[in-house]
Amino acid sequence: MAAFRWLTAGESHGPQLTVIIEGLPAGLEVSEDDLRRDLGRRQGGHGRGGRQQIETDWARIVAGVRGGYTIGSPVALVIENRDHANWTAEMTAAKEGFAPKPVTRLRPGHADLAGALKYGHTDVRNVLERSSARETATRVAAGGVAKKLLGEFGITVMSFSQSIGPVDTGYDAVDPATLSEEEIAASPVRCPDPEASRRMVQEIDAAGERGDTLGGTFRVVATGLPAGLGSYVHWDRKLDGRLAQAMLSINAIKGVEFGAGFEGASRPGSQFHDEIDYQGGRFRHLTNRAGGLTGGVTNGEPLDLRAAIKPISTMKTPMPSVDLKTKEKVQAHYERSDVCVVPAAGVIGEAMVALVLADAFLEKFGGDSMEEVGRNFRAYQDTLAR
């Protein structure tokens, strides 16, 4: 069976975004409606900007699914960019009719300067079109397919906002095991603490009035995972390393921790490590400060990780910068942007976690069909119950 992998293509204002997913077993039921909810959640959250009023993301399945089920070949999804109609002359692939408006004012915090220097571009639009977080729509669509696969085996992935700006609910204030999707969705910032949610909204509004932006942190929790995904035998097979890399690949993510993470680093070992017990025919841990992973392997507890996202780099009140062409001091380029994307980033985080877990799951239980994967999974579960 081919390895589970996926690849995206497309620019922020190009005609479409495309993602190809390879390695899915045949027989997985999936539809366009399955992917719609997460794409909608990615576009929501208090503090989002004008682009979300233009796009209504819908992933079309154009290959790999027949009659509602995967057939074993690569699955291709397409998301159209409605805003492309306003950018045809600037974004056409042809020489004929190409009418660019070069961007040369560099934005601090963006990939503008590093990307232009790396690829030798004189028009920063060549960088910002692909480095834009618009690309994450394809990840969320692909993550929706991964969630469908995991869901067949009782695995769920959810997220919520833990902090925005100076408002932080804290690691111990929320028990992920007690949360519901409805409770999280009731908050405009996807924070399950009502008082913290109210203060987060106030901070976002205040930053918007100043022409500023805010970052924060979000938690991703996956439940129902069997022990044994990942491996400790090589550095690149450790599941926590694979998850951290995936999370840090999301635009503006600057840090990742598992379980108690950095806060736990100040505790003595006796107050950090999770005591092992055996009850009801299975091993379990009495706490989950490790975040569901030990030695790079799932240990049977919920996966619990937190990611830190920096404030959005594009601001209504631009920072001082330099022009790429003239080298003169200028105000940074401003292009329609958000004030805060923490709630949406959590949805993207869910997708990336689901994609990594789907890879690890098929690595462990893989087969060419869902029936074969199911047999492998059940046989392994039987060995754990002995």
User: Average pLDDT of 313-328?
Assistant: 89
The predicted-structure confidence for 74-102, as pLDDT tens digits, reads as follows 999 999 999 999 999 999 999 999 999 99
What are 119's two structure tokens?
A: 């690829």
The dihedrals phi and psi of 347, each to the nearest 5 degrees, come to -65, -40
- 50 pLDDT exceeds 80? no
To which residue do tokens 């009502």 refer? 194
Residue 317 CA to residue 79 CA, distance in Å, equals 31
Q: How many CA atoms lie within 13 A of 272 on its CB side?
A: 14
SS3 label, residue 347: helix
Q: What pLDDT digit, counting tens, does each position of 200-215 carry?
A: 999 999 999 998 999 9
- pLDDT for position 245: 98
Buried b (16+ CB within 10 A) or exposed e, 243-264: bbebbeebbbbeebbbbbbeeb
Radius of gyration of the chain from its Cα atoms, rounded to whole angstroms? 22
What DSSP state is assigned to residue 82?
Answer: G
Burial of 349 (C-beta count, 10 Å sphere; 0-12/13-18/19+)? buried
CATH H-level superfamily of 5-384: Chorismate synthase AroC (3.60.150.10)
Of 140, 152, 155, 146, whose CA–CA distance to 298 is shortest? 155
**282: confidence class by pLDDT, cuts 50, 70, 90:** confident
Residues 6+ apart with CB under 8 A from 68: 29, 30, 31
Does 234 have pLDDT greater than 70? yes
